[in-house]
Amino acid sequence: MFNCLKERIALKPEYSKELLAEMWKKLNLAREFETRVQWLFSMGLVHGTTHLGIGEEATAVGSILALKPQDYVFGTHRGHSQAIAKGIDIDRMMAEILAKETGVCKGKGGSMHIASPDINYFATSGILGASSVIANGAALTIKKRNERDRITAVFYGDGASNEGACFEALNLAALWKLPILFVCINNTYGMSTPIAKAMHDTDLSKRAYPFGIPSKTVDGNHVLEVYDAVSEAREYVLENGPMMVVENTYRISGHSKSDGNLYRSKEEINAWKEKCPIKAFRSYLAERRLFTEEELDAAVKEAAAVIDHAVEYGKASKNPSVDDVFDDVYA
């Protein structure tokens, strides 16, 4: 099943064992984190809503590990795995989802508005397309400061790609030759609507053509393909300005916590589960004997332990004070 990955991606010198281990670690942290959040919701321990990206982990891990720590990243409202890949404090992100004062946004942002400026991971937004416009501002800052080795990367989904703000952002980025990488995560559904019912041409890479922006489409379920594409794209952006990478994947989890998945069949979901990016990467690593089964299993157990600690940390943290409700409000 996973031979295609082995055949399509040769082991390159830049795939150090350290890099591969980091990919494996963060893929499992992301999956375990979201699985646990799903459970917390079912237990009534989380208020509001959340949007999980189970099945999309390779898009986040492959993309962000191909960037540099100094690069600005703007995630999506489905951005837990993006934040984890960027290196967020997982305890504090879990506390944020549990609405505790120790959260990364003091318990006021919740799942859809995770941010951690100390690692250059900026606010996600529930307003589709908005992050692309804001990210242009960060890219303009880089250009104005003449920073030579920094870019901005903005993630958005196939649904958001239909928003006017995304087209406006592409136009302005091209006009000003901004150092920005547009990363479109195509999980084939905008809420419950398949992309074929929402757009005439489902090749999202073509959205960049009218603006003279180069684009590339990759299999978003293969972390090394994603890594290669974004590594090359970053070099292009540094020298030339904006570029788009479309990463095709699938959201196994529902759109949000209240999604009953009535718009798609169990057969469809199960077929995509067989294409799981974590299963695919494990097979790649094991078949090449880059890690033993015991080493791979140990990383999975370690990820579970990290998330266990995060849950306990979040539960034990204090609730925000009502007296602070208007603090940090700027609009």
pTM, full prediction: 0.92
At 13 the pLDDT is: 56
Mean pLDDT over all residues of the chain?
91
Longest Cα–Cα distance of the chain, Å, equals: 59
- For domain 18-314, the CATH superfamily is Thiamin diphosphate (ThDP)-binding fold, Pyr/PP domains (3.40.50.970)
User: What six digits make up the tokens of 6?
Assistant: 């082995």
Mean predicted confidence (pLDDT) in 19-35: 97
Between CA 264 and CA 256 the distance in angstroms is 15
pLDDT in tens, 178-224: 999 999 999 988 888 888 888 999 999 999 999 999 999 999 999 99
Q: What is the Cα–Cα distance from 331 to 317, expressed in whole angstroms?
A: 28
Q: Where are the domains of the chain?
A: 18-314
What is the separation, in whole angstroms, between the first and last Cα of the chain? 51
Phi, psi of 60 (to 5 degrees): -75, -50
Distance between CA atoms of residues 223 and 219, nearest Å: 8
pLDDT tens-place string over residues 50-98: 888 899 999 999 999 999 999 999 999 889 999 999 999 999 999 999 9
pLDDT at 281 over 60: yes
Gap between the Cα atoms of 17 and 13, Å rounded: 10
Q: Which residue has the higher pLDDT, 269 or 22?
A: 22
